[in-house]
């Protein structure tokens, strides 16, 4: 692994060949992050840099914080922290009203094109950003958005269908490549891909923490649209799997969803209700049951990282000791490098923290 610091045009400022700790946290449904701890010798390089490039990873770090420390004994150290390149889209907002209709992958790509690649105001262009190949994802959408942060909105749209988006750095072309993608299905109920089963019986997990939390779960939404008081259009969105399931209701104020977006096209009553239903589904996706497993992985066991499993893959988790069996996506993988020691931990399932602003405040 080589670490190289780049400027905002991807010119090389210098390498960071020695460090004490590197924490590289990849995430599926929100921004990934990194922390690099090294010696004072590399402060000038990191302090002048924009990006942290790692030659064995698709992710590109955006340096947001550099800190120099000297203690009472004269010991000096520095650290650099930041998020991955997806955070560049956090610097853009959807300042007007955008109609979102059709194939979801295409809609997400169009949002990035309109607000970051080819915006009407050229000052909003994110340098070196381009669209990657289509992945043929089939989900559709019929919605409307006004005034949202671009990165937040992309994650919100993707999470409804368990998709994700990423910005890969192409070192050879100096491009930032935007893609919408979905992890592989590696459950034992399918035959297309090799299985990935994490279990104490296979001795490939250790230090596992299982958590189930339904305190914020909601399955029925009442979505109130435009107008005021009794004139408002209200639709019910019921996402229960059966009528026997207990109702847990949510009220959604969707007055920002307009039947007349001002572009000369006015939605019919049926079309407008579909718009509100889509908003209800999107909001309910933020109030899911939380069932997660956080576990260290034995890299010497039967599954090889990035070959047998990777971020976003749908896997089985079995804990025979407490009688837990579940199927969940790998939503986070944390790689930690300390000297010659490397450790790996994964999170299966969604933890309920979905807003990018929370993550930036906490980690970058």
Residue pointed to by tokens 């639709």: 235
Q: First CA to last CA across the chain, in angstroms? A: 23
Q: Is the model's pLDDT at 229 over the cut of 80?
A: no
Give residue 352's pLDDT: 54
Q: Which one, of 85, 108, 90, 89, lies nearest residue 98 by Cα? A: 108
DSSP string spanning 189-227?
T-SSS---EEEGGGT-EEEEEEEEE-TT---EEEEE-SS
pLDDT in tens, 102-114: 999 999 999 999 9
Q: Is the model's pLDDT at 247 over the cut of 60?
A: yes
Percent of the chain with pLDDT over 70: 95
If 0-12 CB within 10 Å is exposed, 13-18 middle and 19+ buried, where does residue 84 land? buried
Query: What does the CA dihedral 144, 147, 150, 151 come to, rounded to 10 degrees?
Result: -100
Contacts of 266 (CB under 8 A, 6+ apart): 259, 260
Q: Which of 38-52, 116-130, 295-309, 342-356 has the lowest mean pLDDT?
A: 342-356
Mean pLDDT of the chain: 91
Give residue 78's pLDDT: 94
- Across residues 307-332, what is the average pLDDT? 94
Give residue 124's pLDDT: 97
Give residue 177's pLDDT: 98
Give 72's pLDDT tier (boundaries 50, 70, 90): confident
Q: Which one, of 4, 5, 26, 14, lies nearest residue 336 by Cα? A: 26
- Across residues 56-79, what is the average pLDDT? 92
Pairwise CA distance, residues 348 & 316, whole Å: 9
Give residue 360's pLDDT: 33
Q: Is the model's pLDDT at 206 over the cut of 70?
A: yes
pLDDT in tens, 142-154: 888 989 999 999 9
- Across residues 189-197, what is the average pLDDT? 96
If 0-12 CB within 10 Å is exposed, 13-18 middle and 19+ buried, where does residue 252 land? buried
Give residue 190's pLDDT: 94
Give residue 363's pLDDT: 35
Give residue 362's pLDDT: 33
Name the region of 339 (left: φ>0; alpha: ψ -120 to 50; beta: rest).
left
∠ at Cα 169 (351, 141), nearest 5°? 50
pLDDT in tens, 260-289: 866 667 889 898 999 999 999 989 988 988
Q: Is the model's pLDDT at 202 over the cut of 70?
A: yes
Q: What is the chain's Cα-based Rg?
A: 22
Give 75's pLDDT tier (boundaries 50, 70, 90): confident
37: β partners: 21, 79
E strand or H helix that includes residue 26: strand 21-27
Mark out the alpha helices in the chain (DSSP H runs). 43-48, 104-112, 150-160, 269-284, 356-363
Q: Is the model's pLDDT at 340 over the cut of 80?
A: yes
Name the region of 190 (left: φ>0; alpha: ψ -120 to 50; beta: rest).
beta
Give residue 339's pLDDT: 86
Q: Which one, of 61, 70, 24, 25, lies nearest residue 43 by Cα? A: 70
Pairwise CA distance, residues 257 & 102, whole Å: 17
Pairing state between β 12-15 and 164-170? unpaired
């Amino acid at each position: 692994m080589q670490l190289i610091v780049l400027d905002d045009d991807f010119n090389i400022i210098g390498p960071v060949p020695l460090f004490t700790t590197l924490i590289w946290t990849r995430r599926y449904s929100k921004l990934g992050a990194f922390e690099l701890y090294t010696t004072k010798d590399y402060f000038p390089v990191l302090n002048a840099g924009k990006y942290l490039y790692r030659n064995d990873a698709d992710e590109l770090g955006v340096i947001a914080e550099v800190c120099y420390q000297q203690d009472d004994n004269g010991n000096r150290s520095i650290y650099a922290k930041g998020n991955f390149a997806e955070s560049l889209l956090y610097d853009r907002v959807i300042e007007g009203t955008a109609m979102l209709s059709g194939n979801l992958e295409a809609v997400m790509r169009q949002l990035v094109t309109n607000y970051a690649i080819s915006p009407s105001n050229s000052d909003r262009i994110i340098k070196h950003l381009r669209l990657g190949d289509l992945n043929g994802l089939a989900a559709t959408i019929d919605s409307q958005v006004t005034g949202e942060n671009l990165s937040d909105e992309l994650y919100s749209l993707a999470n409804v269908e368990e998709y994700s988006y990423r910005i890969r750095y192409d070192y050879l072309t100096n491009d930032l490549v935007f893609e919408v993608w979905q992890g592989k299905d590696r459950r034992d109920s399918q035959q297309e891909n090799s299985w990935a089963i994490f279990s104490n019986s296979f001795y490939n997990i250790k230090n596992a923490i299982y958590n189930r939390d339904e305190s914020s779960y909601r399955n029925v939404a009442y979505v109130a649209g435009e107008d005021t008081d009794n004139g408002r259009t209200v639709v019910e969105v019921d996402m229960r799997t059966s009528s026997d399931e207990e109702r847990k209701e949510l009220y959604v104020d969707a007055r920002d969803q307009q039947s007349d977006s001002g572009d000369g096209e006015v939605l019919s009553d049926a079309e407008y209700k579909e718009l509100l239903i889509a908003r209800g589904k999107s909001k309910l996706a933020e109030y899911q049951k939380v069932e997660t497993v956080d576990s260290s992985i034995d890299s010497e066991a039967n599954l090889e990282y990035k070959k047998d499993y990777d971020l976003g893959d749908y896997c089985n988790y079995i804990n025979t000791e407490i009688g837990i069996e579940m199927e969940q996506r790998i939503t986070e993988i944390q790689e930690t490098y300390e000297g010659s020691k490397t450790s790996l931990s994964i999170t299966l399932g969604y933890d309920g923290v979905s807003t990018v602003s929370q993550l930036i405040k906490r980690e970058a």
